[in-house]
A = this chain, B = another copy of it.
Amino acid sequence: MQYKKTKLNQVKRGHKKAAYDKKTIHAILDATEICHIAFIYEGRAMVQPINFGRKGEYLYIHGSHQNRMTQALMDAGQITLSVMLLDALKLTRSAFHHSVNYRSVVVFGKVKELTNPEEKLLGLKTIVNHFVSDRWAHCRTPNDKELLATRVLEIKIESASAKIADQPNSEHKKDLDLDYWAGQIPVKQVYGEPVSASDLKPGLEIPEHVLAFCRRGETQ
């Protein structure tokens, strides 16, 4: 299954790195904690990082009712967001060919505010379980007051594209004989040992869903 190529999501530069299949795009979204959301505020393009969750063709974010970003998204009714995982720094003999290996996704979607408490709870559950798998089952669910205090936005993915750079360095043949070192520095995001809260109730151990998450070792 692929996202349809439109003028918006079709990759123009580096089109050989482009992917439109849903499996690839969803996997990159699921491996990422933070997305960057674009919005317009008083005529100016703005960008803000935020955590999110995905369930099928829907993404969920939440924020305060006073937040200018969530208000701008509601006013526009649409959203553009981007995620990126950096995988390697590519050091070439020529300054010009320095590059990175990465996996990125851009999503174009329609935005709807969830107002039904049951739908809001499902949106928040998706966000918390995207954070750490199965986390929702191991914490107190939001009460009515908390639900009222937060705004939950549902994003229907309308189109999307991925760019994946995972190749060896690219250089001009005539540069290969230069006396400069070339290679790649791998980059990854790792999780450390979980640290229990200082006010943890005696007798509680680090639960299996947290240990399993940390065993993933990195965000992929």
Contacts and interface: CB of A to CB of B under 8 A. Distances in A.
A62 to B, nearest CB: 10
A38 B80 CA distance: 10
A196 interface: yes
Interface residues of A, number: 91
A67 B12 CA distance: 8
Contacts of A176: 199, 201
Given A139-B93, A182-B197, A40 B49 contact: no
B38 A45 contact: yes
Contacts of A205: 181
Contacts of A68: 12
Given A13-B64, A186-B192, A186-B195, A49 B84 contact: yes
B169 A181 contact: no
Contacts of A199: 176
A161 to B, nearest CB: 12
A89 to B, nearest CB: 6
Contacts of A194: 91, 183-185
A11 B193 CA distance: 32
A128 interface: yes
A138 interface: yes
Given A33-B86, A45-B38, A78-B44, A213 B185 contact: yes
B189 A201 contact: no
A128 B78 CA distance: 36
A76 B40 CA distance: 13
Interface of A: 8, 12-13, 33-34, 36-40, 44-49, 51, 63-64, 66-68, 76, 78, 80-82, 84, 86, 89, 91-96, 98, 100, 102, 104, 106, 124-125, 128, 131-132, 135-136, 138-142, 146, 150, 168-169, 175-201, 204-207, 210, 213-214
